[in-house]
Amino acid sequence: MVNAIEIEELTKYYGKVKAVDSLSLTIRDREIFGLLGPNGAGKTTTILTIATVLKPTSGTVFVYGYDVTKQPDKVRKIIGVSFQEPKALHVDKVIEILTWHGRACGLSGQELKGRVKEVMDRLGLWEHKDKLFMELSGGFKKRVEVAKLLIQKPKIAIFDEPTAQIDVIGRHEIWRAIRELREGGSTLMIATNNMNEAEVLCDRVAIIHKGKLVTVGSPNELKDKIPGGDVVEIIVDKPLVKDVVDELTLTVKASSARYMNNKLILYLDKGEAAIPRIIEKLGEHNYYTRQVRMKEPTLDDVFFYFTGVRLLEGGS
């Protein structure tokens, strides 16, 4: 079986800015694949290159065997993109935008009408059907953008931040709809900076940072890449220093440690047994422990483990 998307050493510059840096990835047929990374990581640039909107500076991308640079028309026939920024004429009505989109995708008659109505109902758009695009709130504009791909059902559906600005109920409905697209035979690629979305929705996730691939695998495989099963987070009363952190790491045999200001994160086995020892050791160095938390690793921890920065807001 030929892979859905093969990205080989993709590099993209905007002037002097290197937005994507030698990125290689394989997206399998009928997979829900996530591109997870913070703002500016290069997700949209990668997606737009796959979709033939942008040209690679170097490297190649194959979509079901078609080269995006040499056979863009073939690629455009099987791919659909739901853009990060909703795209529509401001003076068009919601129902017109979606009906036109369905028609442009080759739907007609009852099938067109039926599918547009079904998707609009599902995304809570039907009651806004006669509103002008510019009259919609940000979240509803985004729903219109997502609805386009749900109507189109392309062989490869690419969603750039499908649930940004969308409320919890809408988010779950969109995730369900995306899974159904896959059941219908589509391959899905999802760009997101939301680790929860990547974790619950995607079969495999590529974490990218500053245009480079950090790591790739299923959410569970990624978590298993952090040595030590537990993550212990400690907040103390003053900024930590390297010597103390190094000594602590040795004392409790942590497989690794990260610290920033007053916060320390240790990756280790049997966290619960180590916690008293950690607090004691910190005390010996005149650190007062204000907070201790232990948890299973999340994709945010995976990101932090590999990059030293947090994906989550306020998580630094």
Which residues are at the interface with ligand ATP (CB under 6 A)?
A: 14, 17, 19, 37, 39-45, 84, 193
Nearest distance, CB of residue 30 and ligand ATP, angstroms: 24
Nearest distance, CB of residue 215 and Mg ion, angstroms: 20
Dihedral of alpha carbons 46, 47, 50, 51, sign:
negative
Nearest distance, CB of residue 42 and ligand ATP, angstroms: 4
Nearest distance, CB of residue 300 and Mg ion, angstroms: 18
**Contact status, residue 53 vs residue 12, Cβ threshold 8 Å:** no
Nearest distance, CB of residue 301 and ligand ATP, angstroms: 20
Pick 28 or 212: Cβ nearer Mg ion:
212
Pick 3 or 57: Cβ nearer ligand ATP:
57
Residues 55-114 that bind Mg ion (CB under 5 A): 84
**Contact status, residue 77 vs residue 106, Cβ threshold 8 Å:** no
Pick 44 or 99: Cβ nearer ligand ATP:
44
Q: Is 44 in the site for Mg ion (CB under 5 A)?
A: yes
Pick 42 or 228: Cβ nearer ligand ATP:
42
- Region near Mg ion per CB under 5 A, out of 35-43, 165-173, 209-217, 242-250: 35-43
Q: Which does 19 bind (CB under 5 to 8 A by kind): Mg ion, ligand ATP, none?
A: ligand ATP
Pick 83 or 259: Cβ nearer Mg ion:
83
Contact footprint for Mg ion (CB under 5 A): 43-44, 84
